[in-house]
Structure 1
């Protein structure tokens, strides 16, 4: 994001106020000014859900979690009921993945008319009123299946209007069944909050969600269901409750946008098209904080969609990624307008697979995190996916406390961070770690 840029871009929408026991907003903003200019340009711009299984072995669960992209073959046919193809998931440039020869174009009527004159197959034309944009989804012939060739063929003057229908990955790396001694830390707050997740389905029959308020909507092709794995773990952190699990948010309404499909036994993917639809829905519902525990390539359509959601008063929190400290930046976390979160363990050591970079804003607990599992049990998960909800939850509470004043909420979040590593903001922990509070905010 980077924090001061969002403060700059949104402060005029709100009045000012700040917690008496926090660092004054003016002081925080002054400390952050050296990077304030970095965000302004970006802002302008019938598979059923798995049955609940009483007993599942660790080995079986390990088959269900994400693994690096190189574990997938070059072409993966995503089928409905093991028969008809719903999607063809392929490897593209730089080792990322996308729907085979499928592109998205932000087009007006004139551009749509011009597009129809070329060797393309238009799949859908859709207007996203909440985001203020229209998208054409289309397939192309193999000989023009590159951005450079399409820009030339379509005579586009603005390359940011076009990009592949890329696929984004869940960012949880391991699962361990566990039955820990009861440990019930505080939720971040008791306020009635709203929070959104763009993720896989949530197993709402899990006993952790007996009293939870969860509204779900799916954004997948007809007949293709979302596995209730990753999303259940994220929802478990945010709103799950048992005698051994305290939610990060005590009284939240969770909006669950289902975008992930099963790529294999080891990984889950979400198309850019589904992510855009999810962002539009959550924006329509006026959800103020959206958690995106997923990563993938830089994409012009994703960047524009996120900027549009932020202009409509949402804040986006994203997992930094589990590719390791030397990995290239992953998105959406690396966008200037997004709050990027790395993962630490309970000894404040950085998770060894956590991405590093100057785009990291905060860190949070993401190693051996106790939560609900998709199979109906409880266990521990690791990855930057597990860290991001802690920051999302804290921000949701601070927005309530500061009467939806984004500037003050973001400044308060920064003042809550415990500085780790190098003094000040750094490429591993950002401004520092966000811990569960000893008492509710």
Structure 2
């Protein structure tokens, strides 16, 4: 099909907007050949979304820039422009010989975490005074070329919530749902458990020295996972929530070693499905922890991110063991800012939807793959009561069979197996008072 001049110009503008600034440009890995997008559908989508598309696809890179400016004392960019903890390197299962040699070179141990449930030890080293982080990484790899060592990357939230609105009349919390033996995990910011949607929900916390540090993103994602206040409903409203706060109010808090420790805690609590609406680069330690947890039956469900269709894949969603989730709008069209690729497994509602806000009776408008992910995680958790690799595979296969096929026939790089959780979208006007 030949594009008209307006659409062609729009497409050119969009593609130009997707170019990442040189400082933050990521190397595109070699990917298998993917189905070409449907041009009529893409054309119509561009007409509707063009005004906001450049803004949406650059959101993560703007956040990285803000981190580098505001937290330059503890955050820097790696050679690909991704944010890392300044002067820190993470080692997975390091040998005693490597640690001894590192100490002899002037490295200090910043933190050590033993993930007993996963039988894994993670050590975070601090570079010697006067060394830059890249030089320190190279030195550790020279000492032991077989070691799993990498930067202590930071992972960012994959979606935004608008200004909170008060709840509309008629929104009420039903009696507490009876526990049904389902555990579902959340690795994110803190959750405002006082919100009406969590009435009667059992929430177990990890992180922040047992202090509650509610966040807008974590609360919204949690509400879509386990919340309930008619007519609002999350995907698994009777499940017990295991919420790991890896930020504790600090934008530089969601580091690899912290996320890894949270995953270890989830497995120790026998949580079967864990939602991660965070995105970042590939990392050797994260890869090892994800692989170890998956082999032992933990099912990880993660957002594919909002860097745009031309962007490199983001992690942990792009690891083969993880269920990657994209978002669609109220008309079942993929969000134009959503990532694409063979790692996309499912699509779910990800915009034109309400979620809980941090105020006890407030709701927000949510947009992004962050908010599609808990709908998929909750649906998968419904049949999984404990980590079990075989049962997890069956649950994913069953959900794939129930999916509404969109885009190219069969699994594709835009919608994955197709759309699930369509009825779990709550129209904002039903639960919030517009200002």
Match of 1:76 among 70, 77, 91: 70
Task: Give, in whole Å, the separation in 1 of the partners of 2:160 and 2:409.
Answer: 29
Match of 1:240 in 2: 227
**Aligned-pair distance for 1:183?**
9.6
Q: Deviations over 1:188-228 (max 9, x none)?
A: x994311000011111111221211111111x5x6997442
Question: Comparing both structures, which one devotes a greater share of its residues to strand?
Answer: 1
Match of 2:182 in 1: 193
Task: Give, in whole Å, the separation in 2 of the partners of 1:298 and 1:335.
Answer: 8
> Counterparts of 1:68-217 in structure 2 under 5 Å?
68-77=62-71, 88-106=74-92, 107-141=94-128, 142-143=130-131, 145-146=133-134, 150-151=138-139, 154-158=142-146, 161-178=148-165, 191-217=180-206
Match of 1:409 in 2: 395
Which sections of structure 2, spanning at least 5 residues, go unmatched? 1-31, 33-58, 173-177, 425-435
Contact 2:190–2:248 (Cα < 8 Å) also in 1: no
CA 1:115–1:355 in structure 2 vs 1: closer, same or farther (change >3 Å)? same
SS at match of 1:93: coil
Match of 1:317 among 287, 301, 318: 301
CA 1:340–1:273 in structure 2 vs 1: closer, same or farther (change >3 Å)? same
Contact 2:354–2:364 (Cα < 8 Å) also in 1: yes
SS at match of 2:292: helix
Task: Give, in whole Å, the separation in 2 of the partners of 1:173 and 1:286.
Answer: 30
**Aligned-pair distance for 1:400?**
5.3
**Aligned-pair distance for 1:74?**
2.4
Paired residue total = 357
Task: Give, in whole Å, the separation in 1 of the partners of 2:368 and 2:169.
Answer: 22
SS at match of 2:229: coil
Match of 2:371 in 1: 386
Contact 1:402–1:408 (Cα < 8 Å) also in 2: no
Match of 2:354 in 1: 370
TM-score, normalised via structure 2 length? 0.75
Contact 1:75–1:88 (Cα < 8 Å) also in 2: no
Higher relative contact order (CA 8 A, sep 6+): 1
Task: Give, in whole Å, the separation in 1 of the partners of 2:330 and 2:422.
Answer: 12
SS at match of 1:421: coil
Q: Deviations over 1:121-143 (max 9, x none)?
A: 21123321112211211111453
Contact 2:137–2:149 (Cα < 8 Å) also in 1: no
Contact 1:402–1:409 (Cα < 8 Å) also in 2: no
SS at match of 1:327: coil
Contact 2:184–2:274 (Cα < 8 Å) also in 1: yes
RMSD (Å), alpha carbons: 3.0
TM-score, normalised via structure 1 length? 0.74
Contact 1:76–1:90 (Cα < 8 Å) also in 2: no
SS at match of 2:122: strand
Task: Give, in whole Å, the separation in 2 of the partners of 1:67 and 1:144.
Answer: 23
Task: Give, in whole Å, the separation in 2 of the partners of 1:143 and 1:402.
Answer: 42
Task: Give, in whole Å, the separation in 2 of the partners of 1:402 and 1:95.
Answer: 36
